[in-house]
Structure 1
Amino acid sequence: MSSIIYKIVPATLWQDALNSGEFKGASIDLTDGYIHLSTAEQAPGTAARYFAGQEGLLLVAIDAEKLGDKLIYEASPSGTLFPHLYAPLSLDAVLWAKPLPLGADGAHLFPELDR
């Protein structure tokens, strides 16, 4: 598995994380008890399924090796393994955060991702 994983997050929520020094998660993360993350291969599908048409998003790249044993790959209903973080995300593990704009077709335009 790649050592880089991703989080799609509203820019306003990410600014809160920058102000506090850690990302505790979006509302779905807080409800589920872990932070939902994606691999490079999964991120476009995650955007299409859960963030369709939403503007003001960021794609945050995370060094998975810095997350320790709180990062667990778990099977989705389809059997695909998704990374889940059972702790707040320390900003020390963040490599970068880039805008995730919408294209003319309404799909998000991703930067080149490390796979």
Structure 2
Amino acid sequence: MDKEDFVYRISTDQEWEEFQKNGSSYGGELDKSTGCFHLSKIDQVQSTLKNFFLNVKEELYLLQVDPKKLGDGLIYEAVDEVNSFPHFYGPDKTFLPLPLDSVVKADKLTFINGNFTCSFFT
């Protein structure tokens, strides 16, 4: 499988503040309960947003993450017959926080005409 140039994290305002304050984040309840950070490839971001974030009241950010900075803790896992999603477990699946220095760029998402938009979508 081709490795992506970047993977993406859909982040809430609260999580993005945690990143900036602590230099890392432990993610949301889903991440903590599954022991990994749920990430997306760029072509998966819209469907992930529509499936899981339509009713989120907080501001949302899309974080562009450099997979090279995540090392062997980044694993691509099949979720169905067609989709394989990147998950960050940390080395040896130790569930480390996602480090802020792996985030290359962040942009606020806006919801317009039934789609989420930001500078990453061209």
Normalization by structure 1: what TM-score? 0.89
2:19–2:99 Cα contact (<8 Å) kept:
no
Q: How does 1:1-115 map to 2 (within 5 A)?
A: 1-54=3-56, 55-87=58-90, 88-103=97-112, 105-113=113-121
2-structure distance, mates of 1:107, 1:57: 13
1:52–1:107 Cα contact (<8 Å) kept:
no
Indicate the RMSD between aligned Cα atoms, in angstroms: 1.7
2-structure distance, mates of 1:72, 1:22: 19
Instruction: Give 5+ residue unaligned stretches, structure 1.
Output: none
1:5–1:62 Cα contact (<8 Å) kept:
yes
Instruction: Give 5+ residue unaligned stretches, structure 2.
Output: 91-96
Tell me the matched-pair count. Answer: 113
2-structure distance, mates of 1:113, 1:68: 26
Task: State, as a whole percentage, how many aligned pairs show the same letter.
Answer: 34
1:38–1:82 Cα contact (<8 Å) kept:
yes
2:111–2:117 Cα contact (<8 Å) kept:
yes
